[in-house]
Structure 1
Amino acid sequence: MRRLAPDHVAGLVAPLLTRRTEGPAYARLADALRQAVTDGRLPAGSRLPSERELTDRVDLSRTTVTRAYAELRAQGYLLTRRGSGSVVQVPEVPGGRVDHLLTPSALHADALDLTCTAPAAPAGTREAYQRALDDLGAYLPGTGYYPGGLPVLRERVAEQFTRRGLATTPEQVIITPGALAGVAIAMRALISRRDRVLVETPTYPNAIATVEGAGARIVAHPIDHLHDDWDVTDLGDALQSSGARAAYLIPDFHNPTGALMDGEQRSRTGRLLRTRGVVPVIDESLVDLPLDGQVMPEPLGRHVPDSITVGSASKSLWGGLRVGWMRVPRARMETMAASRLRLDLGVPVL
């Protein structure tokens, strides 16, 4: 068992303690230690310094450190046995690994789960939920149903689109439980059973299932991911020969290839879609993940005024939020809102 040096642990938590100044000291220390566990800097199976040892390094009282350790034990982050000290562990997910669509039924302790390439919650998520909980009282007198989403969130999403070069008002935004829900809403509104929908190949498997679930027939368009090439000429031929009414496209860090459609291809693709009268559903779930210094092209939706753009906080923040959105042309808003109500009544207020 690896024993973590007191100075090492103190060095990890010191910046986090400095960053958060509100709340009791024991809660701040517990939160700093918990963040270090969840991001892997305090590895599971390692042994923390004793309460007395850490007290001397973090300039807090013994009582404070003892309460912080007790809180971590209660939350499942520490296992303390007489003679073995306090050992770091990652809490078991309540209910276990029950969703076979996203995770295997079981993993060995030394295995990495690559079935879902999604990050853990970032630092500050717990505090964000606490702030939201403090504001929840204002919503409790109402019914709690917001099919379009909370106005404050619709405003933020609209601002984000506008900042990226796609002018958007809050009235054009629908909040959904993830980007995939936005795809489902859009497809049910755009197509009739047996209509053809063009999708890239390869593409996100759940999107194929969603498009087919809306009754569509799939038209595949290969992309050359090694050269980030959508082959716009071939795309035009595929649209003409198939008579596709809609398309599902991932121009930003394409899933699963990672390809990025450049600005010139976006302009040509947009012109082609407009000419053919094809409505694209553009998935921007990964748009917030450029590498350092990487310049992003303008949104594909800017080239197709009739397009539907879906996005999500799952990759940029955390999948557990279950918050996504749709950016909808004004002329289609009523139809999309009606389609949405046939699937669900909105995301949770919190």
Structure 2
Amino acid sequence: MLSGPLEETLYQVKKTIVGQDALLERMLVALLARGHLLVEGVPGLAKTMAVKALAQAIGGQFQRIQFTSDLVPADVVGTRIYNQRDGEFQVSRGPVFTNLLLADEINRAPAKVQSALLEVMQERQVTIGRETFPAPEPFLVMATQNPIESEGTYPLPEAQLDRFMFKVLVGYPSATEEFVVVERMIGTTERPAPVLSPERLLEFQRTADAVYVDPQIIEFAVSIAAATRDLAGAGLPEMARYVTFGASPRASINMVLGAKALAFLRGRDYALPTDVRDLARDVLRHRLVLSYEALADDVSPDDILDPLLAAIPLPEIAHPERGARTP
């Protein structure tokens, strides 16, 4: 069960967004765990609207960058401008200096622009000329991309994909949800009200950091990530030919950090193995480098992760306060 302010934040977002519960939950987990989020779905599924609604409910600074093929790094991080009056260069900061950055259609920008985001996503700082500037706190990048249109797009490099905590796939709404969407769009749309300040969000982040993680849960996350690198050893030899490179150790870290945030969202001060399992697909799907054989056989990362997660048993954890075995 969500705590009061977080529950109210979700309520405000749902004034605009219908359904998409998994996406909204991952957005809150990413906020609490200080991770970045990549959202993939066909056009018209309210990906951009969901991020904007969350930014409005948080009440912090929000910037949107519409990525295009002619974008340059200075448009993202900023640049140095010569001031003729003073006779010296001054730094003009780019839109990355914000609390919540929406990188819309991120795969439409060339590699040079993608690399400009790497430093701020990982180090939370930006270097312009010889000066380094810290990013605001809290800071979160939420990016969207379209999977069905390849013209004018640039695949994200693996190094940048690895910086995203989650990759969430957004599907079509049900008929009932789509009816409500149409009904809302033809009427007066109520904007989300800010209910959660950046300062309060930082408090929640620190509380989520304090969530207890049993060593067996860390071992469980590591075993999942390691299995992607050795599918034959995990009992899936028929899948081994489909994966060229498995997940990096950053996947194990993000599974544990995400599990702590998810446990906090669910009203617990301790993580469970199910928290790791629930987030594993979103953490791993963009970290698997598939082989050409997988592309030829139309095998997706989820086709590999589903049997992999089924093959790894959940550890049984005895929670100290309960003294009971918890799956």
The TM-score bracket by the shorter chain reads: 0.3 to 0.5
Give the number of the structure with larger relative contact order, counting CA–CA contacts within 8 Å between residues 6 or more apart.
2
TM-score computed with the length of structure 2 as normaliser: 0.34
Pick the structure with greater CA Rg: 1
TM-score computed with the length of structure 1 as normaliser: 0.32
Larger relative strand fraction: 2
